[in-house]
Structures are given as structure tokens and as C-alpha cells.
Structure 1
Amino acid sequence: MVTPSTDWRNVIMVAQRSNILSADSVLLQPVEAIKGVGPRLAHHLKAKGLVTVEHLLFNLPLGYLDQRGTIQISRLRPGDYVSFVATLLGGREVRYRRRKIYQVTFSDGTGVVTAKWFHYGRWLIQRFQGLKGSVRVSGTLRVFGGKLEIHHPEIEAVEGVNEEGSGGIVPRYSGIPGIGPRAYRRIMKEVVSNFIPQVEETLPAAVRDYFNLVDLQAALRQVHFPSELPEVERSLQLSPGLRRLIFEELFFLELLIIRSREMLARETGQAMGLDRDFLRRVGKLLPFSLTNAQKRVMREISADLGKRRPMNRLVQGDVGCGKTVVALLTAFIVIANGFQAAVMAPTEILAQQHYVNLKPYAEPLGVPLVLLTSKLKSREKQTSTEAIAKGEARLVIGTHALIQKHVTFQRLGLVVIDEQHRFGVLQRMALRQKGGSPHVLVMTATPIPRTLAMTAYGDLDVSVIDELPPGRTPVQTRIIHAKQRYKAYELLRQEFNQGHQAYIIYPLVEESEKSDLRDVTSMTEHLGKEVFPDIPLAMLHGRMAAEEKQKIMAAFASKQLQLLVATTVIEVGIDVPDATVMVVEHPERFGLSQLHQLRGRVGRSTHASYCLLIYEGGGLETRQRLAIMEQSNDGFRIAEEDLRLRGPGDLIGLQQAGFMDLKLANLVRDAETLAAARRAALTLIQKDPELTKPTHAVIRAKLQRQSHQVADLLKTS
């Protein structure tokens, strides 16, 4: 047995001399195998998800700093990540918003930059007392009150620095708590020098030649430690190394999508008949008529359910278009055929809301309904799990808890996944394994641009609900500067006096060490004491216990509370008709699609509704970006703009999107590369469907590793 104190470097050297380890195995070694990485550094790396040598190799720089010369402060641009050399003029503690901060002033003779630390210790003061001469300052430059500022920058003395990676073109990586930028660059130097020679090529020579791609080893060296500043830093042109890695990322994404769709096509599902008498009983319970768009989508779903091939359909539509009703009707079709239906929501709050909203329909029809989330008490969880396994629970509402290994269904016929941008293909596959190829219906209120839908959801057929129920009033959106915050409070007061309710959203739960952004905790206290002392309010955020969150949401829904001060935990699915105002503080911190989702929490009745975006910084570019929210309520237009400006990561939360974890590609910028990668993947699968040729062994191994994530999901506790 290998103990924690094992010297991995010796193990690998012996294994390599004995030809025991393949090159692929070397990359899967733990980070302790790297020279200079002991238990302390390994702990910090693993906390960031960097567990193996391969993780480090593919944790690419965010950008580069050109330290070959000096750039004058007067030439720096706000909003850029900058690096400059200057003289320290002085540092002192100052009062700022009921707390102390430490600020230091730097100048190079052409301009002045103030660095600020919002949380700090004596060590910081002592460090600056010991600094003499010129220092290099690196961080994101911003403008506040007409002056240049930089928050929590990286500081290093210029004189006497001989560290490899300082000077020249320096890679800039995402921060890792406990490991300074210079220390991390030293680790990466070691990885690049000693492990890149072990990296096996993953793309066939014919593909590389046809698409003019450099080999993988050269690409990795070039991306981590380039000899020249990459063109991507100066223009829209990508370096050959980055272009190669983007192609590979998209190539393997397309391979997984193609294989997933082919596997689905070979599966046999249960054909579902329509019990029209039962559906008429369901229809009588609905307090409204379906829109034409809802009827069209139900016809498409009914046709899918009638086939012996499992349905795999994405229903997308703007906020408030009535997707939940479509899901309910689909579930009842399956239940009427003697099967179980499971609805998986992305959050406990949304799962609880579905449970409360669906109960009035399920109970009169005699359909047993249960809720299963990870935060339930042990006895409640056991009761629900047993009812699901025995088939007594016909309609099951839950969160990720539904894909845990110990949860089994007796006869699962339908899986409904609500808010697709929180789940990916792997999660769908994990749920599908709970039953004999159940039908799958995915719902999203984030309109997916066609380019992204083809790529991210290529294994799904797509339906669109493009019509809102009658009586909905478009939400009026206004952009307000922080100096005019009082105008937002005046509008809130008017709405409260009419008996209406409101949300105020902040980006942080509590004060941050690295930011002066407003937060939910302190602002709830401020609003309750100084702004709206007579208004019943409460705060809501993701760190709260499930019972507490449910209690607060129930109080808000029953109008015991008029104001909810929250984080984006309320982003999806919350439905309170009397809520007429959505205030978002620091909207520049959110993507447009996320702002559109937040806006969708109001305007859910005939009352006039408002969305107020209160911004402080960012300049003209931020104001122009937010103006799109003023100009349009069209979720598709906003999603397209968000994809163009920020890439797919901000649009669909790719950290949770199964295998579609695009670290490099931007599906607008890289549209041609995407098309090329798809062609290459299709050609490969046509020539070698099972990837059995020796030349494709590396590709097959990588795909198998990614597919094993399904098994890992099933083991999730």
C-alpha cells in the first residue's frame, strides 16, 4: 500500500526506467510527484481541484504579462490586467464603509495608482515597511472617483529577483489560495520541463495536417511559457498553440455528443399511450387554457412518447412561458401508463416550490407525490427512498439526490430535468441508468442560441415555447448609477405602499477580503434599520440551512415578508406574482443572461413591474452592455449577445454542465474551429465507429476516462 509519505518522484523514476508506467499513467500521477511539491502545496492545489499532473498541464494561463520592459502608468487602460514598475510613495490605514482598509500609493512619474486591501494583517504593513526601491505591481486596473485603483495586487521587489518566470513573458494563472503566483509559476516550470515530454499525441496525423495544427507537446509549451507575447493578447488572432488546444477541446466534445446520440438511438424505450379521460381530468384542474405554443410542444412530446425509442427532448422558452405545465402534463401521461416520473431541479428551493405547486394537481388525481433532497432529515429521506423503490411514489421531485447510488426506482418512465443550464449530458446519463431507458425531458428558461444548442445539446431534439400566457406585462428595466440609489428606494417605497413585494440582489453573502462589493448580510441589516424599518424583510442565500430557506420563501410567498434581500439563489424558478420590483446591485458582475433570469422573477402578473440595475464602476463599456437589458426583453437576443461578449461559460454555468466544461473555446469566436472539429469527429466515427484501430487507442482511452464521470456521478453522496 502506498502511504501518504511516499516519495512519488522516486516511484516514477523507477517505474519509467522499468517501463512500468505508460506516458498516460505518468500524467495521472498525483501532484506530489512534482519536484518541490510537498504536503502543504499539494493540499492547496487539491483544494482547487488540481489533483494530478494532467490537471496542472491543462490549467492554462488566463493571460500573459509582458515584463520585458516597462510600461508607463499613463498608458495603462482601466479594466485590463496590468503589470507595471513604480516607486512606493507611502501606505496607511484609512476608514472605508465602517471598516479599516490599507492603501498604498505608487507612482512612476507619469501617473499614480492606489492599491487597496480590504482585509489584511500586520504582515502586510510590515512587508511594505521593508520594501525599498522599485516594485512590480500586477492586478486588474479600475477607476473609482476619477482615480486609478488596483485591489489586492501581486507585489514583488524588482531588484534581486532571479526567479525563473520573472521578466520576459510571464503567464498569469487563476489564483490559488495558499500559493503565490511566483511559487505556482515555479511548479509549472517543473511540470513543463519534466512532464510534457511524456504527453502522448491525441489527434491523428491526418487531422493535424489537414487542419494545420501543431503537435500537442509544442502547443502546451507555447501556451504555458511563450517566447513571444501571443497574438491573442494583442489582437483577435489565436496563437498556434492555443488554436490547437481549442480544436482538441471541441473535437472531444463533438465525439462525446455523437457517440451519446448513437447510443441513444440503439436503446429501446417504453411506448406510452394517451389516456384521454385521465388527461381531461388533469385539464379541469388547470386554472387556465394552454397557449398555442404549449399545445404545439405537447403534440411533439406526445409523438415522442408514442415511440419505442426513448424521448430525449429539450424544451426551451423564455421566463414565464409555462414550461412547468408542459412538464406536469408529460409526467401525467407517463404515470397514467403505470410508470414513475422524476423531476430533478437544480436547487433545494426550486425542488420545494415544484413540490408545493404540483401537490394540488397530484392529490385530487390520487397520484402519490414525494420530495427527495439531500437536506431532508434522515427519517424523511428514508421514507421517500423506500416509497420510490417500492413504486408507491409515482411522481418524485428532487435535486441531485435523485442520482445517488442508493436511490432506485421500481419502474421509472420519465425524467424531467428542470433548468438545463445546471445539468449536463453526464447527469442525464446517470439518471437514465436508474431505469430501463426512461424518456427524458429537459427544460430551460435560458434561451440557447442555435450555435450553442447544436454543440452543447446535440444529443437532444429541441422544442421552443415562443409565446407568453395572456395578461403578462413586460418588465420595465432602468439603469441607475450608485449615486442615485435613492431613486430605487423611492420606487420600492411606492410599490410597498401598494402592497407589492420586491427583491434586492447582491453578489456576495458577506463582506469579502478581496472586494468592496456590497453584500447580503450587512445590507440586510442596513436596509432593515435605516432604509425600510417598517417593512418586513429577510435575507436569503445558499449557505443557509434548507429548512430556514424554505421557511423564508414560504413567508415571502404568503406575503408575510415584503422584501427579500438575496444572492442569485433566487435566479431560477421562484414564482411570486405580487413581486413587482427586482433591484440588482453591481450588475456589472453578472452575465446578461443571468440578469435576464433575475428579471424574470418579477412581471409574473398583470401588475406593472420594474428591474433596476444599480452600477458603480466599469465605465462606458459596462453602461453599453447593460443598455441591452433596457432595450430588450427578448431572452434569445440577450443570450446571443451574452454569448458574443462573455462566451458560453457565463451563459450556461459550464462548471455544472457535465462534460461540456469548455475552458478555452468561445463558441462565437471559434465558430469555424467548432465546425472543423465536428467534421473531423464525424469523419473519424464513420471510418472507425468503435475506435478499435491502434492509431485511435489514445482517443479511445481519453473518451473512456471522460465517460467514467458517469459512474462517479452515481457514487455521489
Structure 2
Amino acid sequence: MSNNLLQTPIEYLKGVGPNRGELLRKELGIYKYQDLINLFPNRYIDRTRYYKINELQNNNAEVQIIGKIINIKTVEQKRGKRLVATFVDDTGQMELVWFQGHKWIRESLKLNTVVVIFGKCTSFNGLFNMAHPEIELLSEHEQSLRSAMQPVYPSTETLTNRGISNRAINKLMQQLFLETQALFSETLPDYLVNELKLIPKNVALFNIHFPKSADILARAQFRLKFEELFFIQLQLITKNLIRKHKIKGHPFDKVGENFNDFFKNHLPFELTNAQKRVVKEIRNDMGSNAQMNRLLQGDVGSGKTIVALMSMLLALDNGFQACLMAPTEILAN
């Protein structure tokens, strides 16, 4: 895909426009098509089951139900107004509640039309209710590019109150893939993709947003996680090479009296093979022209300090000083 298309301002995506574009920039940092593509879901919800109202439980679970809205009213309360809609199916009725965005929501709701609602179900005064549910016409629900595993995207209260719900973001993602035809350029070498049996970049991106199964989702996540870590590792290697060439160190190539005397006459025990190997590696590093940055890792009591001490003696043998820092608790003891 042309990178120019990915750099298109987000307000030019069908369904966004200037107002929504400003909200997406402010709330989610989405400025371009590329930013929306990289808005990966936080989690996924099983959208294969439809509940009946008489099957609901007061457990704050996320459910989806097919039914109709038969009434809408505004209820006055001490802390303000709330919009309440009566939702029914063939087993009972419940309430849908909105505390903000009344005007936009009232205009978008259609009475006596079959819809699919989705959200968290609770009980109040003996009646089940759902606050700020997602609502979709059944006809659109069946035709939409919907997977069994529904993605849940990062969001904010401001976006939800302004009508940019999770479902709205999902629709924008569908539109984005329709406009771009999901033809995203491969970013890894072919030999690496084939050797590790990774799925292509465009397939991974599509299935992150519209997974058909848990298996393909896992493969898509692995592919994108591998790519991220792969390029981080390349950056670290590149920075390390640049540092070695640009920042010259002092070669400690002399193994002198301090090191040899301590090793032969004062070391009260035999070093382990692992300690000998690490001391040798550090000697080689310190003998080069490049600065050494090394993390020595080992269990408590494994002998890290003695390795550090012998490295310090190498510095002394080459006319330099060395400093060993320890936590305050150790010094106090």
C-alpha cells in the first residue's frame, strides 16, 4: 500500500468528518489512517450468544439481546435528567438508560424496529436495565463485518457521550479496511516470515480487528508482537554499534600485579566455571577500545560481587580507579 494513503488525515475517512476527527485526535491521539489501524483492541467479547430478558441475571455481565424499543421518555431527577427507553422481547421488558447525550440518542433511536442491544446488565427496583447500551438495527447487525469475537477498543467517557461508542469505532475500522482494501505492505523479510511461519502483515492486521476464531487471533497477535520486539532489538543493536564506533573507551589490556596477586594469594575459594567464564568475557570487553556496559545477573550468593571486584582490579592494573556502590542497608550492617 502507498504510504501516502496511510498518512491521510483521519477526518477524511467516511463517517468521521471534522467534529469526530477533532474528538479522535484529542481523546485517542488518532491523527491519520495509520493511527486508527494501530488502535488495537484491549480485549475481545464473545458475541455468538443472544439472551432473552427472562434469562438475565443481576451480575453486571455483558449480554446482547434482540428486541424492540417501544417507548422513550425523559425522567427528571435531583441530579439532572436521564433518558429512559422501554425495551421488550417475547419474554419480558427492561429499561435502557442514558445519563448524557440525550438529544443525539433520542434522534437516533427508532421505535418498534427490531434491534440488537449490547451492554452490561444490572437490576434496579426489580427491573433489569442497561446503561448506555450499544444499539444496532438487526438488518445492519447481520450484514456487518462482525466476528464472533467482538473487539473492545480503548475509549473515554467523552467519546461515549458524543456518540463515538465501541461499535462506532468498529464501524470506522470496517470503513478503513474497505478504503484501503487491507493491502498493507509487508515489513519483515520474506525468509523470516517463511522460516517462522508467520502470517502476512495484512492478514495479521485484519484479524486483530476482525478475528474469526481464537486461533487466528492468537497467530495475528504473535505476528505483531514479534514484529514489534524484532524492530526494538534492531534499534538496540544499531545504537550499540554506533556507540562502539563513536564513543571510544580506554583499553584495559594489562593483567597486572593487583589482579594476579589477589587471584593467586588472597582468593579464599575456587571460582566456579560460570564465574571464570564471565571474568574472561569481561576481561575481553575491557581490553577492547569500546566502552563496556554490562549487567551481571545471578542468584543471591552466586558470586557476583567477587566478579565485580576482579574487574575493578583490572582497572587498577591499568592505572585507573574503580568504585563499588552498594545499598545503604548493606553498608549499615
TM-score (norm 2): 0.56
Q: Determine the C-alpha separation between the residues in 1 that align with 2:229 and 2:123.
A: 37
| Alignment partner of 1:216 is 2:201 | yes
Q: Determine the C-alpha separation between the residues in 2 that align with 1:133 and 1:55.
A: 36
Structure 2 counterpart of 1:27: 6
Out of 129, 147, 150, which is 2:130 matched to? 150
SS at match of 1:60: coil
| Alignment partner of 1:46 is 2:22 | no
Measured against aligned partners, the alpha-carbon deviations of 1:91-112 in whole angstroms (never above 9, x if no partner) come to 5444666433333343445576
Q: Determine the C-alpha separation between the residues in 1 that align with 2:8 and 2:42.
A: 24
Structure 2 counterpart of 1:243: 222
Indicate conservation of the 8 Å contact 1:78/1:148, yes or no.
no
Q: Determine the C-alpha separation between the residues in 2 that align with 1:239 and 1:149.
A: 34
Indicate conservation of the 8 Å contact 1:89/1:107, yes or no.
yes
Relative distance call for 1:155 and 1:264 in structure 2 (3 A) is same
Out of 66, 69, 82, which is 1:101 matched to? 82
Out of 83, 96, 116, which is 1:136 matched to? 116
1:45 deviates by 3.5
Q: Determine the C-alpha separation between the residues in 1 that align with 2:38 and 2:68.
A: 36
Measured against aligned partners, the alpha-carbon deviations of 1:573-611 in whole angstroms (never above 9, x if no partner) come to xxxxxxxxxxxxxxxxxxxxxxxxxxxxxxxxxxxxxxx
Q: Determine the C-alpha separation between the residues in 1 that align with 2:87 and 2:163.
A: 26
| Alignment partner of 1:70 is 2:53 | no
Q: Determine the C-alpha separation between the residues in 1 that align with 2:294 and 2:4.
A: 36
Q: Determine the C-alpha separation between the residues in 2 that align with 1:123 and 1:221.
A: 31
SS at match of 2:173: helix
Indicate conservation of the 8 Å contact 1:164/1:186, yes or no.
no
Measured against aligned partners, the alpha-carbon deviations of 1:465-500 in whole angstroms (never above 9, x if no partner) come to 889x9xxxxxxxxxxxxxxxxxxxxxxxxxxxxxxx
Q: Determine the C-alpha separation between the residues in 2 that align with 1:209 and 1:216.
A: 12
Relative distance call for 1:145 and 1:131 in structure 2 (3 A) is closer
1:164 deviates by 5.1
Q: Give the stretch that moved more between structures: 62-71 or 198-207.
A: 62-71
Structure 1 counterpart of 2:173: 188
Indicate conservation of the 8 Å contact 2:49/2:64, yes or no.
no
SS at match of 1:70: coil
Relative distance call for 1:196 and 1:255 in structure 2 (3 A) is farther
Amino acid of the residue matched to residue 130 of structure 2? I
SS at match of 2:140: coil
Indicate conservation of the 8 Å contact 2:147/2:210, yes or no.
no
Q: Determine the C-alpha separation between the residues in 1 that align with 2:103 and 2:16.
A: 28
Matched positions, count: 255
Indicate conservation of the 8 Å contact 1:267/1:309, yes or no.
no
Indicate conservation of the 8 Å contact 2:97/2:130, yes or no.
yes
| Alignment partner of 1:119 is 2:104 | no
Measured against aligned partners, the alpha-carbon deviations of 1:240-277 in whole angstroms (never above 9, x if no partner) come to 2222122223333344445455656667599xxxxxxx
Indicate conservation of the 8 Å contact 1:65/1:82, yes or no.
no
Amino acid of the residue matched to residue 84 of structure 2? Q
Q: Determine the C-alpha separation between the residues in 2 that align with 1:81 and 1:208.
A: 38
Alignment map for 1:496-575 (pairs within 5 Å): none
Structure 1 counterpart of 2:286: none
Indicate conservation of the 8 Å contact 1:115/1:149, yes or no.
yes
| Unmatched segments (≥5 aa) in structure 1 | 1-21, 271-307, 314-461, 470-717
Structure 1 counterpart of 2:304: none
Indicate conservation of the 8 Å contact 2:52/2:89, yes or no.
yes
Amino acid of the residue matched to residue 249 of structure 1? E
Alignment map for 1:647-658 (pairs within 5 Å): none
Q: Determine the C-alpha separation between the residues in 2 that align with 1:115 and 1:203.
A: 48
Q: Determine the C-alpha separation between the residues in 2 that align with 1:143 and 1:93.
A: 19
SS at match of 1:161: helix
Relative distance call for 1:36 and 1:105 in structure 2 (3 A) is closer
Out of 214, 222, 228, which is 1:231 matched to? 214
Indicate conservation of the 8 Å contact 2:134/2:167, yes or no.
no
Q: What is the root-mean-square deviation of aligned Cα atoms in Å?
A: 4.6
Measured against aligned partners, the alpha-carbon deviations of 1:187-211 in whole angstroms (never above 9, x if no partner) come to 4233213425542211223332343
Q: Determine the C-alpha separation between the residues in 1 that align with 2:114 and 2:71.
A: 13
1:42 deviates by 3.5
Structure 1 counterpart of 2:185: 200
Q: Determine the C-alpha separation between the residues in 2 that align with 1:58 and 1:214.
A: 17
Relative distance call for 1:96 and 1:269 in structure 2 (3 A) is farther
Measured against aligned partners, the alpha-carbon deviations of 1:309-359 in whole angstroms (never above 9, x if no partner) come to 69999xxxxxxxxxxxxxxxxxxxxxxxxxxxxxxxxxxxxxxxxxxxxxx
Amino acid of the residue matched to residue 31 of structure 1? I
Indicate conservation of the 8 Å contact 2:96/2:132, yes or no.
yes
Structure 1 counterpart of 2:67: 86
Q: Determine the C-alpha separation between the residues in 1 that align with 2:112 and 2:329.
A: 64
Q: State percent identity of aligned pairs.
A: 26
TM-score (norm 1): 0.30
1:138 deviates by 1.9
Q: Determine the C-alpha separation between the residues in 1 that align with 2:35 and 2:10.
A: 9
SS at match of 2:232: helix
SS at match of 1:191: helix
Indicate conservation of the 8 Å contact 1:269/1:310, yes or no.
no
Indicate conservation of the 8 Å contact 2:207/2:220, yes or no.
yes
SS at match of 1:241: helix
SS at match of 1:221: helix
SS at match of 1:213: coil
SS at match of 2:115: strand
Relative distance call for 1:256 and 1:464 in structure 2 (3 A) is farther
SS at match of 2:187: coil
Structure 2 counterpart of 1:427: none
Amino acid of the residue matched to residue 26 of structure 1? L
Structure 2 counterpart of 1:568: none
Relative distance call for 1:466 and 1:257 in structure 2 (3 A) is farther
Q: Determine the C-alpha separation between the residues in 2 that align with 1:257 and 1:190.
A: 37
SS at match of 2:191: helix
Q: Determine the C-alpha separation between the residues in 1 that align with 2:123 and 2:239.
A: 48
SS at match of 1:51: coil
Q: Determine the C-alpha separation between the residues in 1 that align with 2:329 and 2:61.
A: 39
Out of 140, 146, 159, which is 1:161 matched to? 140
